[in-house]
């Protein structure tokens, strides 16, 4: 982990990982969508709309997972001052916000035929909505300062405070018995859904995770390159007799 | 003991010299809440149903208005840097500032809330529970707000940003604050909800000074 904190080593590592992650994302999403849309049964209660779950559930897992990643990276950045940790957190935030929005939108689309309403103020829905606002506040705080380093540190503290919401989302369906159904895949007594639905779900989850890794690596690589270009420009400007004043 | 009384006295004196700041927050609280009878109509039953929520939401927003200036003036004139290098813990400074903010904003809101409760037809039997809930909840706004104010210190458009950061985190206070009043209206015991609010207050008192001081040190680096 700390070996990768070196930006040059990270660039080399990410160049090797990127095609594998891209392949995995393509395969997982294609196979998951194919199985989920054409080769899995409809639900006896929900009918065909159950297929929305193959997008909704992986997106929700990613929304929580990405926030956890941001909180971890923020902790690493605040304690050990790894610059790469800040770049990773910064690159992951808009992706996490996107997954959260996808979760809310697909959940709403599924809720209309199933629950008969686009939105209810259920504990799970509300806490995910708060997660979305935490993502937006985190991104806004990063960009609110003229001094970029100050925004990075402030946002890192906020990310750690906001992490309090993640366990609340996870257990909201058990603490408050409201409308959203409890977990059916990650359970102590094993998954409670049939293999014909579990397989496309897990394939989609793998595809989503790989897709996130692809986007994250691309964003981190371009952020590192942008920093390098900026540093080179500064060196160039300092050497220029008209600008550097030497 | 790390000059806490002196720090608190300084904050209170400054707040008294600029009394219009906290007066503006209370006036906003009253005026904004009194827009609701015009917005939803003056029917007693409707107003009584939403009174607790309106009062709590307006208290949250009024606190947001005044929090932006918690560290701002000291940051701009350099006294915050002097306080940071002075032989008093910065955590103590935050505690004094948070307490002073509650005394000059939270307490006036608390005092003004029964007036609003009467105007919005909240059942008289629930006013006691509402006051208790606000007494436990408004200090949470001040101390959690101190974290937010330290995080946005020196930011562009700090006030809007502060609300964007804090309001999602304050939702639990709002939920249990309103739940305590609703329980009292329905003749139930509001104590469990009040106890949760008390728990929030203890958490805020325990964590906010450290987190806020850490954020302030970064702002002053």
Length of chain A: 246
B chain contacts of residue A136, beta-carbon cutoff 8 Å: 164
SS3 B167: helix
pLDDT tens figures, B99-157: 999 999 999 999 999 999 999 999 998 999 999 999 999 999 999 999 999 999 888 88
Answer whether A144 sits within 8 Å of B211, measured CB to CB.
Answer: no
Kindly state the average pLDDT of the residues A111-116: 85
A chain contacts of residue B161, beta-carbon cutoff 8 Å: 137, 140-141, 144
Kindly state the average pLDDT of the residues A152-178: 85
Domains and CATH numbers, chain A: 23-180+192-221 (1.20.120)
Tell me the DSSP string of B7-38. HHHHHHHHHHHTHHHHHHHHHHHHHHHTTHHH
B chain contacts of residue A151, beta-carbon cutoff 8 Å: 155
Kindly state the average pLDDT of the residues A77-87: 89
pLDDT of residue A1: 57
Answer whether A144 sits within 8 Å of B164, measured CB to CB.
Answer: no
- Per-residue pLDDT at A178 exceeds 70: no
Average model confidence (pLDDT) across chain A: 87
pLDDT of residue B99: 94
**B169/A contact by beta carbon, under 8 A:** yes
Q: What are phi and psi of A41, to 5 degrees?
A: -75, 155
d(CA A102, CA B32): 35
Give the single-character DSSP code of A42.
P
Tell me the DSSP string of A89-158. HHHHHHHHHHHHHHHHHHHHHHHHHHHSSS----HHHHHHHHHHHHHHHHHHHHTS-SSHHHHHHHHHHH
Helix (H) or strand (E) holding A149: helix A148-162
Answer whether B218 sits within 8 Å of A162, measured CB to CB.
Answer: no
Taking CA–CA distances from B144, the nearest residue in chain A reads: A161
Query: What does the CA dihedral B24, B27, B28, B30 come to, rounded to 10 degrees?
Result: 160
pLDDT of residue A114: 83
Burial class (CB in 10 A: 0-12, 13-18, 19+), B66: buried
Answer whether B165 sits within 8 Å of A141, measured CB to CB.
Answer: yes
**B157/A contact by beta carbon, under 8 A:** yes
Taking CA–CA distances from B208, the nearest residue in chain A reads: A161
d(CA A147, CA A149): 6
Answer whether B151 sits within 8 Å of A140, measured CB to CB.
Answer: no
CB atoms within 10 A of CB A204: 25
Taking CA–CA distances from B155, the nearest residue in chain A reads: A145
Q: Least CB-CB distance to A141: which of B161, B168, B171? A: B161
pLDDT of residue A177: 64
Q: Above 0.85 for ipTM, yes or no?
A: no
pLDDT of residue A243: 65
pLDDT of residue A246: 47
A chain contacts of residue B157, beta-carbon cutoff 8 Å: 144
Q: Least CB-CB distance to B152: which of A126, A144, A164? A: A144
Q: Which residues in chain B show pLDDT less than 70?
A: 1-2
Kindly state the average pLDDT of the residues A190-210: 85
B chain contacts of residue A81, beta-carbon cutoff 8 Å: none
A chain contacts of residue B152, beta-carbon cutoff 8 Å: 141, 144, 154
Helix (H) or strand (E) holding A41: none
Record the pTM.
Answer: 0.86
DSSP β-bridge partners for residue A47: A43
CA distance A145 to chain B (A): 5
B interface mutation test: which of A157, A159, A175 has the most B CBs within 10 A?
A: A157
Taking CA–CA distances from A154, the nearest residue in chain B reads: B151
Give the single-character DSSP code of A12.
H
Answer whether A157 sits within 8 Å of B211, measured CB to CB.
Answer: yes
Cα torsion angle, B103, B200, A154, B7, sign: positive
- Chains A, B: CB contacts within 8 A come to 60
Answer whether B161 sits within 8 Å of A140, measured CB to CB.
Answer: yes
B chain contacts of residue A134, beta-carbon cutoff 8 Å: 168-169
d(CA B137, CA B106): 9
pLDDT tens figures, A23-41: 999 999 999 988 888 887 7
Taking CA–CA distances from A159, the nearest residue in chain B reads: B165
A chain contacts of residue B215, beta-carbon cutoff 8 Å: 153-154, 157
Q: What are phi and psi of A42, to 5 degrees?
A: -75, 165
d(CA A168, CA A47): 30
The runs of H, that is alpha helices, within chain B are: 4-17, 19-33, 36-40, 44-67, 69-77, 79-85, 90-101, 107-119, 127-151, 158-185, 191-220
- Per-residue pLDDT at A122 exceeds 70: yes
pLDDT of residue A205: 94
């Amino acid at each position: 982990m700390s070996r990768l904190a070196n930006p040059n080593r990270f660039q080399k590592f990410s160049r090797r990982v990127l095609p594998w992650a891209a392949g995995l994302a393509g395969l997982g999403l294609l196979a998951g969508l194919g199985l989920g849309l054409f080769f899995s049964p409809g639900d006896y209660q929900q009918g065909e709309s159950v297929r929305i779950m193959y997008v909704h559930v992986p997106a929700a897992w990613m929304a929580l997972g990405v926030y956890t990643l941001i909180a971890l990276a923020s902790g690493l950045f605040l304690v050990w001052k790894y610059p790469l940790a800040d770049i990773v957190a910064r690159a992951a935030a808009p992706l996490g916000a996107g997954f959260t929005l996808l979760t809310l939108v697909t959940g709403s689309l599924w809720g209309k035929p199933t629950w008969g309403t686009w939105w209810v103020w259920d504990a799970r829905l509300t806490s995910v909505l708060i997660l979305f606002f935490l993502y937006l506040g985190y991104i806004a705080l990063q960009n609110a300062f003229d001094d970029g380093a100050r925004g990075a540190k402030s946002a890192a503290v906020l990310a750690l405070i906001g992490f309090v919401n993640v366990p609340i989302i996870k257990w909201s369906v058990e603490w408050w018995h409201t409308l959203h159904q409890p977990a059916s895949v990650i359970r102590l007594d094993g998954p409670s859904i049939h293999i014909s639905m579990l397989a496309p779900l897990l394939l989609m989850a793998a595809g989503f995770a790989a897709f996130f890794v692809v986007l994250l690596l691309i964003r981190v690589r371009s952020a590192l390159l942008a920093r390098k270009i900026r540093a080179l420009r500064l060196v160039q400007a300092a050497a220029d007799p008209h600008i550097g004043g030497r | 003991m790390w000059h806490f009384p002196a720090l608190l006295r300084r904050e209170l004196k400054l707040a008294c010299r600029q009394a219009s700041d906290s007066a503006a927050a209370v006036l906003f609280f009253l005026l904004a809440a009194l827009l609701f009878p015009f917005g939803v109509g003056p029917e007693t039953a409707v107003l009584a149903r939403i009174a607790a929520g309106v009062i709590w939401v307006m208290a949250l927003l009024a606190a947001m208005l005044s929090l932006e200036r918690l560290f701002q003036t000291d940051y701009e004139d350099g006294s915050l840097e002097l306080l940071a290098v002075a032989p008093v813990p910065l955590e103590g400074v935050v505690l004094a500032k948070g307490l002073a903010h509650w005394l000059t904003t939270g307490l006036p809101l608390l005092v003004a809330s029964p007036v609003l409760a009467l105007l919005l037809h909240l059942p008289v039997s629930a006013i006691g529970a509402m006051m208790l809930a606000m007494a436990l909840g408004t200090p949470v706004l001040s101390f959690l707000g101190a974290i937010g104010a330290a995080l946005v210190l020196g930011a562009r458009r700090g006030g809007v940003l502060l609300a964007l950061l804090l309001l999602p985190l304050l939702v639990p206070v709002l939920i249990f604050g309103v739940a305590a009043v609703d329980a009292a209206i329905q003749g139930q015991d509001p104590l469990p909800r009040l106890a949760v609010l008390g728990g929030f207050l203890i958490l805020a008192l325990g964590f906010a000074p450290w987190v806020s001081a850490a954020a302030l040190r970064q702002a002053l680096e």
